[in-house]
Each structure stands twice: as structure tokens, then as C-alpha cells.
Structure 1
Amino acid sequence: MPLLNRRQFTGLVSATAVAPLLTGCQSWVGPTNQSATADSNGWLSADDIKQVTALPNIAKQDFPVEAYGAVADGQADCSAAISLAIAACSQAGGGRVVCAQGVYRTGPVHLKSNVELHVAKGAELSFYTDPSRYLPAVFTRWEGMEMMGYSPLVYAYGQDNIALTGGGILNGNADADTWWPWKGKHSERDWNYYPEQDQKPARMALFAQAEAGDPVASRQYADGSFLRPSFVQFYSCNRVLIEGVTVTQAPFWLLHPVLCEDVTVRGVTCHSHGPNSDGCDPESCNRVVIEDCIFDTGDDCIAIKSGRNNDGRRINKPCENILIQNCTMRAGHGGIVMGSEISGGVRNLHARHCVMSSPELERAIRIKTNASRGGVIEHIRYQDIKVGVVRDAVVVNFYYEEGPDGDFMPTVKDVEIQGLSVQQAKQAFVLRGFPDNPVSGLTMANCEIFQAESMGVIENVSQIQLQSVSVNGKLLDAGQFTSA
């Protein structure tokens, strides 16, 4: 059977429709942007990424959901009306499906090519929390592994030219009683725990199937599996825009573009403090711009990903040509993060002019991987990152979860941090390589950590270059990064 690619799918992907096609799925093939330019080393600059990342072109005609039966009173079920409006918009060649004012109760929203879902200021999409509303299962990626699972709350597969815009709110209504308890017990969180609803058995079964290379169609993890869906997931789509909305109370990851080309996330507020409430997780995407956003999350603010372990290597698609700029990070496990599902690699990322600060921000710059993930992380540039309060300033950790137990050593190289300013940290650094595979290829210039309780943890580090880098007013030299 030929390799599966996004052109083989039109419309929504259900378990019934996709099962016969997925058996032979081995890798993803997507279009390339021939207009991109590169520097003398073959890498796109930050400005080039901004210039060549294509935006959707949406027809200038509106389809108010009220015209299809929606009642925005916070009580009526608007699911059918929103679906009808999207279908009519698509059939008419595209345009905006508009939620103008009030609270629209809904189940999952599935977008189609050339359609912009516009949630205006003063409007709220309020999603039901009954899991049965998110069936039938769809083709999705969960913690870096492909499976058939609950539909994301906003979903599109294999669509072109789509957008989610406006000044309104998308509320997943997840809380200590709904969605979040599926995470299982957690000593530091206060969501409820129901043993019969713990995700752990299904999670471990999915890991085992992915490692064994089982066909994706056989990985059925919807009803009864308790694997929470992403909030917004656009899978294998081209020319995607998410702009202006506030996304809150998510079951799982908030914004999750997967295997997409030309993604722009602009002026979005991500606010959710539940388990695994990552803000924006581009996974195996090419040409991504994330700018002017606010992140206040229960997990990583931005996490760049490319598949987990065997599944990531099977698909073998890096996340590349990424620009992150002018964003604000508050609470979170990490500000700008790579990993941990990183087996396909990350290359050519530029992060600049960002501000981070919160007593609940655990790390500012974070790379997390291990010897089961593998993958190559290369040509990473941080410039002008201003941090107020944080626990750990700079983290490169090869011991995340499985640590050295694996046959796929991580590679991190050509990472430059310029103009990092940190006012207050508990630890300046957490740099943990393996004895036979140390952290290397890190360059820091014109960086200052004004107050740090300690230098932190430095294990198995080599080939660090420093220029005008100080902690607590004292200049550092590379010798101080010799393994303790």
C-alpha cells in the first residue's frame, strides 16, 4: 500500500473511515514552500520565517450561526447549528462562521477547508464535558503517539486554509470534577481521583502498541480509555491561523497543531491550570509563527514536539522553522520548551523578545529529552529573553522520565542564548548530560542572572562557550561548567 498522506483524506476522520487506510501508514509526506530563502548555512532567519509563513485567505462572507438555529443563552445546545453553518460556509466556497454575542453551548467543532470560525468579543463557546459527545473516535496524536481517540474540542484533519479568530472565549469547562481527574493521583494538585477513571492502564497500553509498531487503526483509545483530548488540534493542515481568542479550562494540551505547514498563532491568551495544560505545542510542523501571546498554564507554556520514541521515529518529521516572539509567559512548568516528545527532532527555532515571570514558573528555557526519545535538536536561537522570577533559568536535561534507559542518545547542538536577563532564580542552571554523551554545543553571550540561590546542577557538560555571562554579579568561565 502506498504511504499515507494528507491528500488521501477529505472531511472528518472517524474510526470507521480511517481504519482500512492506516494499516500501511509509515510516514508523512507534505508540501514544501518553494519561496523560502536561507542563509549561507542553509537556515532560515527569524525574519525569513515570518515572511514566508503563509496565512489563510478566507472569503469575505459571513455565516452567523443564529441563521442555522443557534441560541446563545448558555442553555441551548448549539452543536448542530454550528455544524450546519460550517457545512454551508464550506459549500459556498468558504468564509467566516460567526458567533457574535452570548454563550454558545456546544460539543466538538470540526472545521473544513476555507472556513474561519470567528468567536467575537463578548461571545463564548462553552464546551460540554460529557465524553460521549466527543465520539466517534478520530485520528489523533496523544503524547506523541498516533491513535484513534476522543475528538479534540476544535478539530480539523487534512484541511487547507482554516482559521480560529476573534476576541472571544473558548471554554473547555474542565475542572477538578471533569476531565482532569483522568490524570490520576497527583500529590501537588487538588483534582479528584476516581480509580476506575485513571488514564494509566490505557496510557501504558498505547505506549506498548506504539513501541511494537502496531497499526494505528488497532490503537482504539476513546470510550473507556480515559485519555483526555486536546482542546484545539489541527492535524495535517495547511495555512492555519489562530488569532485573538482566549482558550481556557482545557482537558489536556490547549493548542496542538500536528504535521501542519504554515501555522500562525497570534494574540492568543492560553489560561488553564489543569494537568498537562500545555499552552501551545506545535508537533512535527514546518513554518510556525507564535507571537504576541500570553501563557498562564499548568504545564509548559510553549513546547515544541515531534513524536514519542518509536512512533516519532516511524513518522520521522521534525518540527522546524519556528519563530516565537513578543510573548508573555506566567505560570508553567517551562517558558520556551523543547520536548519531551522529540524523537523526530527540532531544528531552526528562533525565540526573541519574550517576557517571563511568576513564582509558579518552574523553568525559563528548557530542553527535556532522554535515551528513549533520541532526536536531534539543532540550530536553536534565543535572543532578548527577559525573566523576572523563575525557579530554574536554563535547563538541558537528558534524564527526563526514562533517563539513560534506551538506545537512542539525544543530540543537542548549536544552541545560542544571547541577551538573557533573569532577575531572580533558585537555580541558575540545570545541565544534565550522560557520561558518554555530555551536554555540548551551548553558547551564551551577554547574559545576566542577577540573583540565584545556587549555580544549580551541572553534570556531564562539555564544549560550552561563554561571553559576558554573569551570575550574582560574577563573570563565569567555561571551566565552571565542568561536571561536579
Structure 2
Amino acid sequence: MKIKNIILLLCFLIGFNHLNAKNDGWINILNEGGNNKGILCTQAIQKSIDKASKQGGGTIFFPAGNYLTGPIKLKSNITIYLDAGALLKFSNNFDDYLPYVEMRYEGLMMKTFSPLFYAKDAENISIKGRGVIDGQGEAWWNEVYRIETAKGPIPPTKYQTMWVEQNKGIVYSPYYQRTIDKHFFRPAFFQTISCKNILIEGVTFQNSPFWTINPVFCDNITVTGITIFNPHSPNTDGINPSSCKNVHISNCHISVGDDCITIKSGRDEDGRKYGVPTENVTITNCTMLSGHGGVVIGSEMSGGIKKITISNCVFDGTDRGIRIKSARGRGGVVEDIRVDNVVMKNIKEEAFMMNLFYDKNTVEEPVSERTPIFRNIHISNVTGTDVKKAGTVLGITEMPVQNISFSNINIQSTEGFTLNTTDNVEFHDAKITTTLGASFKIENSNNLILDNVATMKPIANTPLIKLKDVSNMAVTNNFPMFATDVFLEADGAKTKAVYLKNNIFNNVTKVLKKGNDLDKNAIIE
């Protein structure tokens, strides 16, 4: 009997030690001088991170409760874990975010306030759990509003003076002058620079001072299952990888005051100097509510953006769906983009926007490193309802938007697609039902295919397709199923080699309406 009891005791002790071994590396912040009563405990948090780092890494554990902190500097092999019921708030005292550190702000490297979570040259960083992280951004937003709405000159704050002193010699484009003149640059919620192996999972971010998740020059980033909620706030983008590679974004729910997910790679000359593209990005199974765009590429894309897939997403209430934007002077190439299986509803502007005229004040210039390029972009299996405009594709004279396709698209919108200055664009199985104007309006473009395009509700005396100065185009395999007054309207002295083949026009009153400047041989039936 005694031997049996001794054996049971040994088993218990072995199990107890095994449990302790499992807990090695977990640091409860409440045991390290922190508190969950909402009293500032930045030092305790940072000391816990430093302690774990010296031991080779570990997890800083926040049990349920309210916490208040200043900026947190993350290190290699560190996990921040917020348990369900934990609320981590960041201080709204600007002094807590001094001294200034090097960071990238809207694609420009500079010194300014420390991001709320910050790391440089680290690896194996994680933020996990079911807790909430609150950036308390309202103080930052109000300061921006104060500066921007001032009527006439106002005395600079010490922060603005510091910015000027610490950023001498910074190079930026005239387009950015208005932003620079403020000399006040808010911190990102999470910005890591030159880090690798980053995981953000499960937590909720809210009230970010500026962009929320913003890794820069990083490799192997996974953001999954998080919620971002930044209501009625300026420039509070959700997830913005910048000059990163191997990025995986999935199962996220985002509602913000700017773009929900934006892919970037630096601004103008500064971005081209580093020349680091964002590449190998997957975005899947996400829902986007309020935001200027669902998934946006640019306008800071001077280092290039390539190999991006966007799939299985819902945009409900964003200003735009898929938006790709740039301007003369940016440079860089956006290419090899795939969008598939997306549902959009209540889109306040365009479902799709590809715009090389983001800065409308530029003029044509010779092709150079300053010339932005959009090419090899393919979109399929999209449904959109309650959309203001189906889409706009707008190139610049010296660089048309190239090699674009839309396949199996069904959109109900006020206005249809507008294409201007494009080359090699195809629509296959596209039903664009409008209440105002043509479903497809195409100008100054070459090498096009419209294959099985339609509207479900033809508009009286309004063409399905409207062309001007278009060449080398096939309009094929079309069968308007509903009574249609005008199928195609064409004009422009440069319009030529437009082929109408394999179409059935039994329900069309007038197949072709010719404009005054149209050459008589331009349309080949």
C-alpha cells in the first residue's frame, strides 16, 4: 500500500513539474508590476518583454482587465497575448511617444512619433488572443483637424518643431507638399521595419491614430481572424503591407475611416530609391464594411507591386471595391493581379477603379522611371448590387493600362464601365445593368474584346456599348435577350477595325448608330 502511495505521489510530482515546464516562457504582466486597473504601466510591459527576450523569448500574458500603456517596442521571439476580456489602451499623451523613431509615413521614410507597437530588425513576433487593443486615436485625429482647419498661420507646437529639426534634407514630390507643411505625422498602430515571421491573430484593434497594421520591408506576415474598427476617423487604413513579401491576410473583418486593405511600396523618389516591391500577397475570406476602398493598391507603389491574389471576399458599404491608383511621378509597376469570387453591395462609387490619373494636375511626359505601369490584371466571378458605377479604367497617354480582363461579372449599377486610354482589355460574360447611360463606354483604346456582354434592363434610346476613337476590337457572341433600341453607338475619326461577329440581334431595333466623325468602313459586320 505504501509503495502504491509513493508511486501515486511521484506521478503527481512529475505531472506538476510537466505543467510548470509547459508554462515556462509565459509571463503574467500582473506578476511583473503591471495592473489591470487602467493605470499606466508602460515600464512593466517593456521590462517583461526585455526579460523574456533575455531568456530567448516568451509570451507576455494579459489576463482580463483594463490596461493602459505607452508605445511598446517588440523584440524577437516575443508574443503579446491578450486573454478574452483584456482591454489594452494606449496613452493619448503625445509625449509618451517620444523620442522620434524612424518609420515610413504614407510611403516616405522619416523620423516621427513611435508607432504604438514598434519593432526593427526582429523576427518571430506575434500578437494573439481574443482581447481588444484600443489606440485611443481621437486625440491624434483632433490635432490633425486643428492644424488643417486653421484659418491662417498658427504657432507651431514643439512636435512640429522637432519634426523639422530631425528631418532636414528629406526629399518629397510637390504633390506631397500640403502634407509635409503640417509637420505633424501620427503614429501607426503597428509598424515593424525589416522584420520577418510576423503573426497577428484573433485580436480586435480599434481607434487607431493612423494606419493600423503596417509592416514595412518585412517578410512572411500572417494576419488572420482579426477585427479592425476605426469609426469616423481620418487615414485609419486597416491593413497596409508596404514593401513586404509573402503576406497572408485571411478571415478578417474590417470597418475603418479610410481603405480597408491597401498594398503599398513607397512614394515617388524615396520609394524608387529603396526599390523594394510588395509581392506574393494573398487576401481571402475577409469582410469589409465602411472604408474608402475594399482592397486598394497604391497610390504609393513606386517600388512596384506584383503577384497579388484577392478571393472570397465581401465588400458591403465601402466607397469602392477594388481600387488601383497611381499618378505620373510615382513610377513602379503594378502587375500580375488576380481577383476572384467577390461579392459587393452598396458601393458608393466604383466597384472597380484602375486610375493612373490620381494626380489630375500632371501633364504628359516622356516614359521614364517616373512613369507608373498597370498591367496583367484579371478579375473574375464578381457580383455587385446597389453600385454607383461599375468601373473606371483610366490610363495616361504615354502609358495605357494594359492586359486587363473581366470574366463572369454581374453588376447592377447606376452607371456602367468607362475605359479611356487602355490597350488589350477583354470582357467575357459580363452583365452590366445600368439605370443611366451605356453599360460600356470606351474611348481612346486599342485591342479590345467584348464577348457575351449584356444588360438585363435596356434603357430606351441608349446603346449598350458606346465607342469613340477605338481600334482593333471584336464584339462577339452577343445575344441581347430583351428588347434593345440601340446595341452599339460608334464615333471618332480614329475608330477603325471594329468587328461585329457571331452575334444575334433579333431583339435589337438598331444594331449600329453612327456618329458624324465615324469612317464608313470603321465597323465591319
Q: How does the TM-score come out when normalised to structure 2?
A: 0.73
Verify: 1:232 aligned to 2:172, yes or no. no
Q: Secondary structure at the match of 1:335?
A: strand
| Root-mean-square deviation over aligned CA pairs | 2.9
Verify: 1:256 aligned to 2:214, yes or no. yes
Give how far 1:149 is off: 1.2
Q: Give the structure 1 partner of residue 488 of structure 2.
A: none
In 1, Cα distance between equivalents of 2:118 and 2:264: 19
Structure possessing the higher radius of gyration over alpha carbons: 2
Residue type of the partner of 2:257?
Answer: G
Verify: 1:182 aligned to 2:144, yes or no. yes
Residue type of the partner of 2:340?
Answer: Q
In 2, Cα distance between equivalents of 1:193 and 1:322: 44
Pairs within 5 Å for 1:276-425? 276-358=235-317, 361-391=318-348, 392-401=350-359, 404-405=362-363, 408-425=370-387
Residue type of the partner of 1:313?
Answer: R
Q: Give the structure 1 partner of residue 90 of structure 2.
A: 127
Aligned length, in residue pairs: 408
Q: Secondary structure at the match of 1:66?
A: helix
Give how far 1:178 is off: 3.6
Q: Give the structure 2 partner of residue 265 of structure 1.
A: 223
Of the structure 1 ranges 400-409 and 157-166, higher mean CA displacement relative to structure 2 is found in: 400-409
Verify: 1:91 aligned to 2:91, yes or no. no
Retained in 1: the 8 A contact 2:107–2:300?
yes
Residue type of the partner of 2:65?
Answer: G
Structure 1 unmatched runs, 5+: 1-57, 213-220
Q: Secondary structure at the match of 1:112?
A: coil
Retained in 2: the 8 A contact 1:371–1:402?
no
Q: Give the structure 1 partner of residue 431 of structure 2.
A: 470
Retained in 2: the 8 A contact 1:459–1:483?
no
Note the alpha carbon deviations across 1:360-409, whole angstroms, 9 max, x for none: x1100000100111110110000101111102100001111365357622
Q: Which has the higher strand share?
A: 2
Q: Which of 223, 234, 256 is residue 275 of structure 1 equivalent to?
A: 234
Verify: 1:163 aligned to 2:97, yes or no. no
Of the structure 1 ranges 278-287 and 472-481, higher mean CA displacement relative to structure 2 is found in: 472-481
Retained in 2: the 8 A contact 1:181–1:192?
no
Give how far 1:133 is off: 0.4
Give how far 1:429 is off: 1.1
Retained in 2: the 8 A contact 1:129–1:179?
no
Q: Secondary structure at the match of 2:48?
A: helix
User: How has the CA–CA distance of structure 1 residues 435 and 225 changed in structure 2, closer, same or farther, with 3 Å as cutoff?
Assistant: closer
Give how far 1:114 is off: 0.3
Q: Secondary structure at the match of 1:257?
A: coil
Verify: 1:112 aligned to 2:69, yes or no. no
Q: Secondary structure at the match of 2:127?
A: strand
In 1, Cα distance between equivalents of 2:209 and 2:66: 19
Retained in 2: the 8 A contact 1:427–1:455?
yes
Q: How does the TM-score come out when normalised to structure 1?
A: 0.78
Retained in 2: the 8 A contact 1:184–1:195?
no
Note the alpha carbon deviations across 1:400-453, whole angstroms, 9 max, x for none: 13653576221111100010111121111122211232222111111110x211
Give how far 1:184 is off: 5.7
User: How has the CA–CA distance of structure 1 residues 454 and 180 changed in structure 2, closer, same or farther, with 3 Å as cutoff?
Assistant: same
Structure 2 unmatched runs, 5+: 1-21, 174-179, 441-447, 451-464, 470-525
In 1, Cα distance between equivalents of 2:299 and 2:152: 26
Q: Give the structure 2 partner of residue 145 of structure 1.
A: 108
Q: Secondary structure at the match of 2:271?
A: helix
In 2, Cα distance between equivalents of 1:256 and 1:196: 31
User: How has the CA–CA distance of structure 1 residues 354 and 228 changed in structure 2, closer, same or farther, with 3 Å as cutoff?
Assistant: same
Retained in 2: the 8 A contact 1:395–1:429?
yes
Q: Secondary structure at the match of 1:342?
A: coil
Verify: 1:432 aligned to 2:400, yes or no. no
Q: Secondary structure at the match of 1:436?
A: coil
Q: Secondary structure at the match of 1:385?
A: strand
Verify: 1:452 aligned to 2:427, yes or no. no
Note the alpha carbon deviations across 1:279-327, whole angstroms, 9 max, x for none: 0000000100000001101100000000000111000000000000000
Relative contact order higher in (CA < 8 Å, ≥ 6 apart): 1
Identity of paired residues, percent? 33
Q: Which of 56, 66, 81 is residue 30 of structure 2 equivalent to?
A: 66
Retained in 2: the 8 A contact 1:458–1:482?
no
In 2, Cα distance between equivalents of 1:238 and 1:481: 50
